[in-house]
């Protein structure tokens, strides 16, 4: 049987990081070129015909909307290329969940798209990047996890597990199995609901600006006022089921841009408190950073909260 052709798109991150030989910390992300990253895992050739393209080579905290759009456009082209069977994307773990979720909303995938990365740099004593890259390519080529091949969606493969882009989140700052499930996750990653929303970004150069504002005890409500001045939409990471102080609620009344209410707890369902946030948009089970991704895309279609609420209801 002919090997499937897998295209690896690299964006940098810890998996391409370089530091002092043998050490896990004190490294600089996004240093190893994509071709060298793939060449360092010769076992890939046993499972697929692999080619590599470097989209960027940076720390994932420096990812921008323009990079997202360029990545989405390239993935769309590869989806339409009959000679390509699957796509693997290497990415820093810090914002991998956001990029994966964005891509799941911006590209209709008929072929598997698998994100992966690492918690240790390439120069560590026992780097985890090679095993994660090999696993991601295996999954993309049809050598699936637990004999259950991925559906037509966007996935994250990490430390031997496969997660749906809708439900994945970085859950540890240091563990090798740092990727897990977020607020909507119940452990059944492969059976997670598929996204119903889709947004065409192919003709866009940038996305509307959305900032996340984190509530804590006695937080100054003026931060909402400032954030609104530099945003097209806001997400509030509230306490509990999206709660915040009466002082914040009073300040929120004067803000006339779309505002989504999410929870900082990373588990459970947000139930919108109308006495605090009347007419605002409920994030449901979306984590704040995922809600921000969806809101940015919604704002490319409409600024009407009623329209945006429908998108969030389908998330």
**End-to-end CA distance of the chain, in Å?**
39
CA distance 118 to 177: 9
HEC string of 260-289 equals: EEEECCCCCCCCCCHHHHCCCEECCCCCHH
Environment class of 217 (CB within 10 Å of its CB; exposed 0-12, middle 13-18, buried 19+):
exposed
Beta strands 86-90 and 113-116 are: parallel
- In 86-142, which ranges are continuous DSSP H helix? 96-106, 129-140
- Using an 8 Å Cβ cutoff, are 118 and 306 in contact? no
11 is an active site residue: no
Burial of 205 (0-12, 13-18, 19+ CB in 10 A): exposed
Which of the following is catalytic: 10, 11, 14, 99? 14
- Cite the active site residues: 14
């Amino acid at each position: 049987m002919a090997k499937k052709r897998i295209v690896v798109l690299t964006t940098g991150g810890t998996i391409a990081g370089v530091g002092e030989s043998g050490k896990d910390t004190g490294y600089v992300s996004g240093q190893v070129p994509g071709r060298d990253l793939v060449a360092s895992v010769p076992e890939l050739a046993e499972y697929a015909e692999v080619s590599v393209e470097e989209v960027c080579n940076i720390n994932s905290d420096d990812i921008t909307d323009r990079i997202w759009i360029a990545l989405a456009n390239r993935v769309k082209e590869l989806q339409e290329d009959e000679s390509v069977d699957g796509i693997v994307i290497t990415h820093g773990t810090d914002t991998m969940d956001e990029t994966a979720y964005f891509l799941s909303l911006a590209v209709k995938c008929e072929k598997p798209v698998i994100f992966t990365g690492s918690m240790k740099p390439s120069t560590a004593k026992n780097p985890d990047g090679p095993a994660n890259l090999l696993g991601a390519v295996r999954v993309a080529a049809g050598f699936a996890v637990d004999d259950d091949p991925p559906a037509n969606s966007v996935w994250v493969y990490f430390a031997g597990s496969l997660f749906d882009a809708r439900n994945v989140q970085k859950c540890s700052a240091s563990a090798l199995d740092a990727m897990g499930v977020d607020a909507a996750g119940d452990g059944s990653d492969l059976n997670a609901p598929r996204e119903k929303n889709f947004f065409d970004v192919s003709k866009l150069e940038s996305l509307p600006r959305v900032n996340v504002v984190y509530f804590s005890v006695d937080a100054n409500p003026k931060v909402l006022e400032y954030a609104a001045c530099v945003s097209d939409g806001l997400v509030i990471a509230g306490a509990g089921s999206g709660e915040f102080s009466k002082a914040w609620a009073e300040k929120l009344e004067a803000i006339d841009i779309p505002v989504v209410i999410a929870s900082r707890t990373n588990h459970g369902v947000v139930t919108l408190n109308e006495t605090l946030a009347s007419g605002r948009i409920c994030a449901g089970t979306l984590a704040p950073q995922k809600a921000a991704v969806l809101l940015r895309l919604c704002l490319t279609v409409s600024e009407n909260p009623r329209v945006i609420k429908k998108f969030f209801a389908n998330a």
